[in-house]
Amino acid sequence: MSDANSQIKNTISNSDVVLFMKGTKEMPQCGFSSRVAGVLNYMGIEYSDVNVLADEAIRQGIKDFSDWPTIPQLYVKGEFVGGCDIITEMTLSGELDTLLEENGVQFDKDAADKIREANG
């Protein structure tokens, strides 16, 4: 598992925002991955996507790495943020905006506000 572990560390250190997901950002393959990718895409966030379905070692490795049992998993500046429910809550509360701003990650603030308006 050390190879997967080093691959995961390399991935999250080389991109400001990384989403470990089932499928890709263009074609998510589960509802939870689709929801998080949809939020990131709508907000115009540049991020790397890692399809855990393509590599069983990464699929299990990311769960061990984060000590989090589910996928998707979002990382910002190398730090684990959460899965679908946490990202949804953070988006609706504005916490995700704050986290992105504090880490210098560009995003469309108007799009974030529209998500909140539509779900308010």
Question: What CATH number is associated with residue 41?
Answer: 3.40.30.10
pLDDT digits (tens, 9 = 90+) for 99-109: 999 999 999 99
Q: From residue 2, give the alpha-carbon distance in Å to each of 6, 7, 21, 57, 110.
A: 6, 8, 20, 10, 41
Please count the structural domains in the chain.
1
Task: Return the structure tokens found at 86.
Answer: 């946490």
pLDDT at 92 over 70: yes
pLDDT digits (tens, 9 = 90+) for 38-71: 999 999 999 999 999 999 999 999 999 999 999 9
What is the predicted pLDDT for the residue at 120? 80
Burial class (CB in 10 A: 0-12, 13-18, 19+), 35: middle
Expressed as residue numbers, the domain containing 94 is 2-118
